[in-house]
Structure 1
Amino acid sequence: MPASDGLVAPRADAHARPDHPTLLHHPTPPQHPTPPHRPAAGSAARVAGLVVVLAVALGTWLVWWAMVTTWPGQRVEELVFVTADLFQDVVNRPVEPVLLLGSPPWLVTGFLAVCGVGLLRRRWGATAMAATVVVGSNLTTQVVKDGVLYRTGLVGEWNRDVNTLPSGHVTVVAAAWAALLLVVPRRWRPVTALAGAVATCAMGLATIADRWHRPSDVVAAVLVVVLWTALVGVVAPAAWADRRQDDPRARTERPTRLVAIFLGAFAAPLAVLSVLAAAFAEGHIGSGPAWDAGLVAYVGGHLAAFAVATAAFAVLLPLSQAAVRPR
């Protein structure tokens, strides 16, 4: 249509760009599905397990070096033996049934029971891990005790030149309970860890009280079990993880954390007290009543067994939850 003043209105160009850049139309790029984010919990668990393996391997060697190859270490543990002899007639009867649980028949029984739980739950991977913990721990204890480590008798008379580190009896019990952690449902593992700590502590105390083993033998045996449990968690394939329909992590994280903290809260002060007791006993040999240093060493040896058992399961519980983790 003609415009005023004789001018012709410009014809709108269909291809003209709009005046406002906000009206520009940008084609939406095609959307590609984003791959689901995979948490790094598995990698963190393996790194933590590897750290534990290295730490307990070093710790086992240090225990052997300090308590078996040095004069002060042997003197302290000889004091434990001498004092235990004073109480042996009293403690022998109540601890004898406990010591029987570390014999070969009970080793086989525990192995079959642990594997049976895993097979009944159709957890083939977890069963293999548990079997590895039991067999590996017990074989390592015997090989290390008889063929790797040595003892040069510096003091005492009983088994003066016979290496007894690590304790086979303690290994049997600790390995069975550590393996059980890997095959029971996640919601049962905190209770299992508590029971394992009690059972391992009982065996450790029994072997010391009845003069079957020195305190360092007990500590080393528990460390061997921790090493194997951590190791299987490091090398286990991801396909051996908990099934998705198993107990969700949200229901098990709090009990796991509480039990681990509870056990650790016992272990830390007892470990410190056991070291202080050993230092006191070694420093007061011959400087006071004969029973003074001996009684302190005796109590300190039992505290060491208690500390290592509770500390072990404070570590093994979260390791077992991570090693057989939900997918």
Structure 2
Amino acid sequence: MASPSPVRPGPFLLASLAAAAGFAAVYLVFVRTNAGQNLDERGLLESAAMFGAWSRTALAFLNGMPAFSVVLAAAALCWAALIRRRWVASAIALASALTANAATYVLKQYVLDRPDLGHNALGGNSMPSGHATLAASAAAAVYLAVTPRYRPLAAFAGTTYAVLAGVVMLVNQWHLAADVVAAFMLVAAIAAPATWLALRTERAPGTPPQLRIRWERVSLRIALGAAVVAALALMLVLVVPPEGRRVGTVPQFFAAGAAAITASGYACSAAACRLVTRAARRSHTASARP
């Protein structure tokens, strides 16, 4: 039997620190400043003006996505542990998900504070989003539990699910866009070192390099495209005269929020694929040495 992969912790710790820094930046800009709160709230108010009660009725079935996330993650962990005998990876995945959701609760309820700057559409602090954390941590748990061969695909598919859930929360006016982005950053900060722990217990990843690189590139292209959309949406706001920037008449704020959710999610997917690709290359190099 091959020995576990000689994976270095450095890149994973750096990724975790980068995600934590992203979380802090989102909080400082979109919660602690007047401009950030105003921008974030306008996206939510535009969502209400554009979709209103229609989304709460026609898309009510999507409100069950957080509960479905739990079922999805539980099924994946049971399959990995009982069928594939991946006990350690399943335990790491479960611990990672529980840690992310516990951290979200503690941060929202006891640590982070939202100053009243006149932009409290939801009332009180709503960052990070508990629902977005649940969806993203479930996707991360599946990513950690599956075999190394399918991990890049799981990262992309899980991100797609989490991004869809995040956009639905904005459309249904559950959360501000920054709440969702912060939740993604928090889950990524915890999942990165968890990935290193999982890789340490496994043999070298068996996914062909071209497949790992393919999912990384697809994720990166979507993230960059969404970032461009967000930037252009905010730039188009400047074209509209201030007196014409009434809620519901300038949907660019909503577009910027939805694009930011998409960009942050797929950036995490690209990073996850990159980390397992680097680990696979190092494992292959180490195993090839005489």
Q: Taking structure 1 as the reference length, what is the TM-score of the superposition?
A: 0.76
Q: Does 1:63 align with 2:19?
A: no
Q: Is contact 2:129-2:175 (8 Å) kept? A: yes
1:185 is displaced (CA, Å) by 2.2
* In 1: Cα distance, 2:96 partner to 2:180 partner: 18
* In 1: Cα distance, 2:6 partner to 2:210 partner: 17
Map residues 132-211 of structure 1 onto 2, 5 A cutoff: 132-160=95-123, 162-211=124-173
1:202 is displaced (CA, Å) by 0.9
Q: How many matched pairs?
A: 279
Query: Residue 96 of structure 1 is aligned with which of 47, 60, 63?
Result: 60
Compared CA separation, residues 56 and 220, structure 1 to 2 (3 A): same
Partner residue, 1:317 = 273
Residue identity opposite 1:48 in structure 2: P
Q: Is contact 2:233-2:252 (8 Å) kept? A: yes
Q: Does 1:42 align with 2:4?
A: no
Q: SS where residue 251 of structure 2 aligns?
A: helix
Query: C-alpha root-mean-square deviation of aligned residues, in Å?
Result: 2.8
Say which is worse superposed, 312-321 or 119-128, in terms of deviation. 312-321
Q: SS where residue 154 of structure 1 aligns?
A: coil
1:316 is displaced (CA, Å) by 2.0
Give 1 or 2 for the bigger CA radius of gyration: 1
Q: Please, which runs of 5 or more residues in structure 2 have no aligned partner?
A: none
Q: Is contact 2:80-2:146 (8 Å) kept? A: yes
Q: Please, which runs of 5 or more residues in structure 1 have no aligned partner?
A: 1-37
1:278 is displaced (CA, Å) by 4.1
Residue identity opposite 2:55 in structure 1: V
Residue identity opposite 2:16 in structure 1: V
* In 1: Cα distance, 2:235 partner to 2:24 partner: 19
Partner residue, 1:253 = 209
Map residues 257-272 of structure 1 onto 2, 5 A cutoff: 257-272=213-228
Q: Which has the higher contact order (CA 8 A, sep 6+)?
A: 2
* In 1: Cα distance, 2:237 partner to 2:112 partner: 26
Partner residue, 2:230 = 274
1:93 is displaced (CA, Å) by 3.1
Q: Which has the higher helix share?
A: 2
Partner residue, 1:25 = none
Q: Is contact 2:55-2:172 (8 Å) kept? A: yes
1:150 is displaced (CA, Å) by 0.8
* In 2: Cα distance, 1:224 partner to 1:142 partner: 12
Query: How far does the alpha carbon of each residue in 1:131-154 deviate from its partner, in whole angstroms, 9 at most, with x for none?
Result: 122111111111111111110121
Q: Taking structure 2 as the reference length, what is the TM-score of the superposition?
A: 0.85
* In 1: Cα distance, 2:273 partner to 2:113 partner: 32
Residue identity opposite 2:184 in structure 1: V
* In 1: Cα distance, 2:31 partner to 2:237 partner: 16
